[in-house]
Structure 1
Amino acid sequence: MDMDIQTVGILSPGDMGHAIGTVLKQAGLRVISCLQDRSTRTRELARKAGIVDVETDEALVREADIVLSVLVPAQAVATAGRIAKAVRATGSRPLFADCNAISPRTMQAINQLVTDAEADIVDIGIIGGPPRSKDAGTRLYASGPRAAEVAALNNYGLNIRVLGDQIGQASGLKMCYASLTKGLTALATEALTAGQALGIGEALTSELQQSQATLLSMIERQISGMPPKAYRWVGEMEEIAQTFGDLGLPPQMLQGAANVYHLVEQTELGSEIPEQRRLGTTRDEVTTILNTSLGHLKGDGKK
């Protein structure tokens, strides 16, 4: 049975969160957030999306029918703890949906926090970029005992796909999918930067054009779009490495991908934001900046 949803809380309305909020607001829902301690940019994104700022987490859980947590992975557990605290303080019971790129193990820890506060939780894994409409290609996979109820948001512009009734399934799907897409982007970034550093960049690109044209076209798009997101993808790759390690699979490749994104974050590319791109808008620009930065960063003890 679909939920009766009138108000949606979003923590936090950053790149993905504000886009989800915009879609829901345009479809007629009231969308709120608690913007305490959030950046000026996040506040501006929320304002443009028409998201109402409520003063406290307690106000958020009182007013929201469902709370969507959409943050960088490193903030997911702390945010769930904040909401659990607010739930205890108010006695309100909004459905909490964790939409973060986290491992099933981290998702289980969040599940414990939320259910200990006597609230219900849904595990959501987001595949695709920030949505602009239901047809934008952004899919939200949901799992958990109440996952089917979240499908009510399909009536308000989102594309919710119910995966199963177990917490951790949606997060697991996100981890496996992103290991291929963002893992490949990291590997391609490192390989093409290495080609430049070795002085064979043009020959490498020429060979890829001849023998791997489809792959080259894909990775050129991925690399040029990656720099403003690199800081977020560090934690995501670490969560994937944890997922694979928990299964007994080697985690090192994904930890290496995290290190690549940390390298990008350390350079001038790391200061870019999506709506104000100046640097790294092509694959050549990204790899040139990274190659130039290698000697400067070599001495800081990080890879």
Structure 2
Amino acid sequence: MGLPANPLQWSIGLVGYGEVGRILAEDLRGCGVENVLAYDLKLAGPEDASLRAHARQFGVHLLSGHANLAADADLVISAVTADQTLAVAISAAPSLAPGAWFLDLNSASPGVKIKAAAMVDAAGGRYVEGAVMTSVPPCHIRVPLLLGGAGARELAPLLKVFGFDGTVASDKLGVASATKMCRSVMIKGLETMVIESFTAARAYGVEDAVIASLYETFPGIDWEKQASYFFQRVIEHGHRRSEEMREVAQTVREIGLTPWSAQGTAERQAWVADLADAGLFGAKDSEEFARSVDWRVEADRILDKLKPGN
């Protein structure tokens, strides 16, 4: 028995019910998908209550594991941290119905995506890699998405029914992922360079001079606004970003190049995230957490933490 001809009648399973998973769930339900399933490792943990409350609000069915979700889904969308990419494919693949789609949105290296695809395809599923090319929250389901793999051209128009903005990058696996990973060397690297540069400049009292110089060199960038945004994103999502950057480093390593920049970015992202976990930037359940309109507030908190005895 094949998939329903109308994609809106598909059962869609979301592996990962974090920020991205919840946004996709809301948009899928909003466009008319009746059966949206989800599973997250954080269920039965400290975030269980909030995840279940969100699921009740939007009519999402929470399941007890990867296998149960995969068995009931016509389309599985994997949106987990980069280090879980292969584990999800290994756990879900054996339970996929013949011909079921598996869309991998995770920020993993081309090598990892190819291994995940082998698991899914060997089980009779149809694997498509997806590279998310910018931050999901502002765009929601219409975030620019590069698709890759043998089934990408067939799945792309079906995804548009749900509102996805997918473009086929290549029929070859790894091309979409490589595009995303190489871009992240710059984007995530710029975030951490700004945090490091501006915090150090603040310590020396030269931040105004540094920013004025940057405006002269790159007049098209609002450095004050951009810095505050970068600090906020790393404080809120540093752990996820650090995992992605470790995959970026692996992407660079796979071609034989030592990933000094990517590895350093991963370490800085994780370092800021650890400070956030320790409460340096405010309670995570507070609306004030990482919402400062001035990067200087967050830089001063970091500098205070670095003082001897703190």
- Length-normalised TM-score, structure 1: 0.85
1:26-66: CA deviation from partner (whole Å, max 9, x where unpaired): 11112111346523244344344432113444432232111
Secondary structure at the aligned position of 2:220 is classed as helix
Q: Distance in 1 between matches of 2:165 and 2:148?
A: 14
Query: Which residue does the alignment assign to 1:68?
Result: 77
Q: Distance in 2 between matches of 1:97 and 1:160?
A: 11
Matched, 1:139 2:151: no
Q: Distance in 1 between matches of 2:308 and 2:102?
A: 44
Matched residue type, 2:144: R
Q: Distance in 2 between matches of 1:198 and 1:153?
A: 51
Cα 1:293–1:85 change in 2 (3 A) is: farther
Cα 1:297–1:109 change in 2 (3 A) is: farther
Greater mean deviation of Cα atoms: 139-148 or 76-85: 76-85
Query: Which residue does the alignment assign to 1:98?
Result: 104
- Are 1:24 and 1:158, in contact at CA under 8 Å, matched by a contact in 2? no
Matched residue type, 2:134: G
Greater mean deviation of Cα atoms: 39-48 or 27-36: 39-48
Alpha-carbon offset, residue 132 of structure 1: 6.6
Aligned length: 293
Matched residue type, 2:297: E
Alpha-carbon offset, residue 198 of structure 1: 3.2
- Are 2:17 and 2:51, in contact at CA under 8 Å, matched by a contact in 1? yes
Greater mean deviation of Cα atoms: 28-37 or 69-78: 28-37
Q: Distance in 1 between matches of 2:309 and 2:52?
A: 33
Task: Map 1:184-223; keep pairs closer than 5 Å.
Answer: 184-215=190-221, 216=223, 217-223=225-231
- Are 1:95 and 1:121, in contact at CA under 8 Å, matched by a contact in 2? yes
Query: Which residue does the alignment assign to 1:283?
Result: 295
Q: Distance in 2 between matches of 1:199 and 1:118?
A: 61
Counterpart among 156, 160, 169 of residue 162 in structure 2? 156
Secondary structure at the aligned position of 1:267 is classed as helix
Task: Map 1:23-172; keep pairs closer than 5 Å.
Answer: 23-29=27-33, 30-35=35-40, 37-38=42-43, 39-40=47-48, 41-87=50-96, 92-130=98-136, 138-151=143-156, 152-172=158-178
Cα 1:251–1:162 change in 2 (3 A) is: same
Cα 1:55–1:95 change in 2 (3 A) is: same
Unaligned runs of 5+ in 2: none
Query: Which residue does the alignment assign to 1:263?
Result: 271
Secondary structure at the aligned position of 2:136 is classed as coil
Counterpart among 22, 26, 30 of residue 26 in structure 2? 22
- Are 2:203 and 2:303, in contact at CA under 8 Å, matched by a contact in 1? yes
Q: Distance in 1 between matches of 2:267 and 2:285?
A: 21
Alpha-carbon offset, residue 239 of structure 1: 0.8
- Are 1:227 and 1:270, in contact at CA under 8 Å, matched by a contact in 2? no
1:151-207: CA deviation from partner (whole Å, max 9, x where unpaired): 212112211111111111111111122222111111111111121233433432343
Identical positions, percent? 23
Q: Which stretches of structure 1, 4 residues or more, deviate above 4 A after TM superposition?
A: 131-134, 269-275, 295-298
Q: Distance in 2 between matches of 1:223 and 1:274?
A: 18
Q: Distance in 2 between matches of 1:251 and 1:36?
A: 30
- Are 1:71 and 1:100, in contact at CA under 8 Å, matched by a contact in 2? yes
Alpha-carbon offset, residue 92 of structure 1: 4.9
Alpha-carbon offset, residue 295 of structure 1: 4.7
Alpha-carbon offset, residue 15 of structure 1: 0.6
Greater mean deviation of Cα atoms: 270-279 or 223-232: 270-279
Alpha-carbon offset, residue 226 of structure 1: 2.8
Q: Distance in 1 between matches of 2:107 and 2:308?
A: 31
Query: Which residue does the alignment assign to 1:230?
Result: 238
1:75-102: CA deviation from partner (whole Å, max 9, x where unpaired): 1111111102433xxx555211111001
Q: Distance in 2 between matches of 1:179 and 1:189?
A: 15
Secondary structure at the aligned position of 2:129 is classed as strand
Cα 1:222–1:80 change in 2 (3 A) is: same
Q: Distance in 2 between matches of 1:297 and 1:262?
A: 22
Counterpart among 3, 8, 11 of residue 7 in structure 1? 11
Unaligned runs of 5+ in 1: 299-303
Q: Distance in 1 between matches of 2:161 and 2:295?
A: 39
Q: Distance in 1 between matches of 2:58 and 2:285?
A: 16
Cα 1:276–1:78 change in 2 (3 A) is: farther
Secondary structure at the aligned position of 1:128 is classed as coil
